Chains A and B, each alone.
Chain A
């Protein structure tokens, strides 16, 4: 469809990151920093130039793959991921760990590749690279906890990839069309793909890789992780299943239940992971409604979420980097030593709570308005509750316990300047989009005019926030607020970390007993078989040893007679 010449001008956006990753593996110091920062800048510039409607095909055997497809929806995520990649790379720039740099670059690049993939197989390839490279960001902590958490995380990613591949093959088999457009629930294949996307969106009971894996990553790795995987999944969901009603209920549940876990959780990065599922809930609800306004709200919120959630993860990462601690019970009183970080963290906290003039307000209110437009009152109430919960666990708990609360007199200082700079960029964008929403609205993919700053919205939101704050203060004053106790809370993880291992151990005992009996028999048969095999095929076996020339010639004669007889008989 496209000539080679066009393919050259439409450089695939994964390439800059791939090249930078290869170079980053071999360079060090400021040269490497320059290369790494150049990748998202160059790629971002390319995407700015890209025109909606462009497609680049690649013929692989009998498959016509659309490896690069540009439209409004993919462009929005393209901008977002380049922006996110730049901030993440800047935040991690001081590291000397080659593994993290390479994995981070490839990870960001594959997320970008995934949103520009025009068919299911290309999507699958990037989907798997996304899973693999991100697992390395967790393993980069190089301790016992991160090793196991990374394995569990990787298991979920592989499961999602396998489901996607299965669904893609199934669709290819039945329809012969592999292009990635609206799928909609209907056939069995579509359910497979729905679950594949659902796992990476953090559906309830399938969300544990987020709360388990993210806090185990390195201070900088978590920032990468929070930006890409789930947002790529939101993109895929928005493209494949817009207006699927079941998503409204799933999303509402996702928005509500993490609040309880977030309140009692002690590890502040895990609190943020729960809060991430809560925010994803808003996006999933938006996709489920499926109106132009709701979809705009969902993807717009994804855009903002990368910035403000990234900002919060960065501030916690900075705290962890400086103090080596991330548990609420170990932290407190850091505002004196880290005033800039504190300020930036508070901006992030106010954004996630959706204060007017901050970015989350302008995107979240779109989803809320769309809910009312479509008449989902019950869900609207649930989402209001979720919004209040956000304020509590992310808006107040995070900055309060990290920077104020009981002073632990920890020795600390401000983090390196690149970390501060990355946080500052995110913070500025949070405020800029919130105060001047046209920046975001102009690049939203669907046509739905909307103005967030009218009396009703602002008033509703302010009332909500005011009463939520009041509630927290009341609980605190009366001593009913749950204390921060050093503990590990398990939700559905209990299945994965306690029950399954227990079942596994049980099965192992049974197997070992059976194995004792069966093993002898198997070992005997196998040994017998291998012995036979090596007797014939081994170095001195009849099939492998050097034959006397006479025997070789004999074989030639035998074959000649065989052929002669065969050919004469016909």
Chain B
């Protein structure tokens, strides 16, 4: 019975638990409850992944209403992979969150934090698992609204304006997506994604569908922060609580990329999007400045959380660049980087939270002498940084390697140069941290800085160690990404 209803439980469990948090008044109790829920969610997605691997895609009918009339939950090779990423990061971050939240958020708001966190997790999982286009919008709103709350909980006053701007931009994006879905519904009369994929080809030549395609592209690109629609991202990541920055950077943009893949490849199909419409060229033209400008801006940042946020803009550029090539290798590199970037950027933001735990913030001057006072945290940052740069034996290398392969496959050697220049820029901005931490003396009049608590160090190193493990043992992720890429390329032919 339970095993049959796993797809529903995947979203229902965190969704119901969120209001339950409000009933448990003691912050510590709430944390334990949230941790248990997150672990259970993780367990469900592991189970779903193994089910999909063994028996193929699962289609779950909500309330036993058969699709396309009823709402369908659909778990296939791609969505089970993304579900695992999201719930894994969700569990690791919540393990870490207690100490960090105690330091950064006033006690009476702790309950609020955990329930917003669960809502956000439920929303993100919902986007991934649902087989219904309108439900994508609904879950997008659930996750976005709770995200605005989470960002606004940051202890810097600028967090409020950042959250407000994020709210305006996020709502705009969601509205565009809704308009796009509405236009599709107008032409086909269906909202089920599989069904849409079957009916859209008949009406592809209409202006309505083209308008819907334009609205969807802009709306999703806004959500995934593709240059120049990334402007909301740096401040939200920089001023949100540390745990939130880590969670968002590792999951929110990744889920948006998943939505892009879903809509573009499954509903519209490769031929329409990349051969009839100039989507490949447009995405490529956006992602190259994303890589170059994002990395260059990161070099000049003094606030290191903001620096990593700009580095995220650049890394999203790499993912979109891979997708824009519209080949199996290109998609593989994009999907690989989606997973790999979640590990390394999540780990890096968690490490920054460890530094902010004692210093109160993570500006470049706080890094002086940290190599001695916080050796483990700094080591995590160095390893994560190497991965950002793309040094062999780290995950960053694997996905960049496939990206370069995909570019060369089509003879786009300038793209290989862009990737290389991007890596060099990453060397510069990571070197700034290394120089401050290992080559500068500790300021005498600064507060005494010690190593971050173990409860924060262990989750940080979990992600960092995973980024090393998957950099060496690459078969698992490459196989999954390749399978997903082949599926997407086949879907819309």
Contacts and interface: CB of A to CB of B under 8 A. Distances in A.
Contact of B215 (A534, A538, A549, A560): A560
A552 B222 CA distance: 10
Given A564-B214, A566-B282, A568-B207, A556 B222 contact: yes
B231 A555 contact: yes
A239 B299 CA distance: 49
Interface string B266-286: 000000000011100010000
Contact of B172 (A61, A546, A553): A553
Interface residues of B, number: 40
A528 interface: no
Given A61-B401, A553-B168, A570-B277, A563 B300 contact: no
A539 B302 contact: yes
Interface in B58-111: none
A538 B234 CA distance: 14
A507 interface: no
A549 B164 contact: yes
Given A553-B172, A563-B217, A570 B278 contact: yes
A559 interface: yes
Interface residues of A, number: 25
Contacts of B210: 564, 567-568
Given A546-B235, A559-B228, A567 B168 contact: no
Given A549-B164, A560-B218, A563-B218, A543 B297 contact: yes
A560 B221 CA distance: 11
A61 B300 contact: no
Contacts of B228: 555, 559
Interface string B284-297: 00000000010011
A537 interface: yes
Contact of B176 (A547, A560, A567, A568): A560
Contacts of B299: 537
Nearest to A544: B297
A563 B474 contact: no
Interface in B347-387: none
A549 B168 CA distance: 8
Interface in A486-524: none
A478 interface: no
Interface string B219-246: 0011000001101101100000000000
Contacts of B276: 570
Contacts of B214: 560, 563-564, 566-567
A543 B221 CA distance: 18
Given A549-B164, A549-B168, A552-B232, A559 B297 contact: no
B165 interface: yes
A59 B231 contact: no
Interface in A233-255: none
A533 B168 contact: no
A563 B172 CA distance: 16
B305 to A, nearest CB: 14
A564 B213 CA distance: 9
Interface of B: 161, 164-165, 168-169, 172-173, 176, 207, 210-211, 213-215, 217-218, 221-222, 228-229, 231-232, 234-235, 276-278, 282, 293, 296-297, 299-302, 310, 398, 401, 474-475
26 contacts: A61-B401, A537-B297, A539-B301, A541-B300, A544-B234, A544-B301, A546-B235, A552-B169, A553-B169, A555-B228, A555-B229, A556-B169, A556-B218, A556-B222, A559-B218, A559-B221, A559-B228, A559-B229, A560-B215, A563-B218, A564-B210, A566-B277, A566-B278, A567-B213, A567-B214, A570-B277
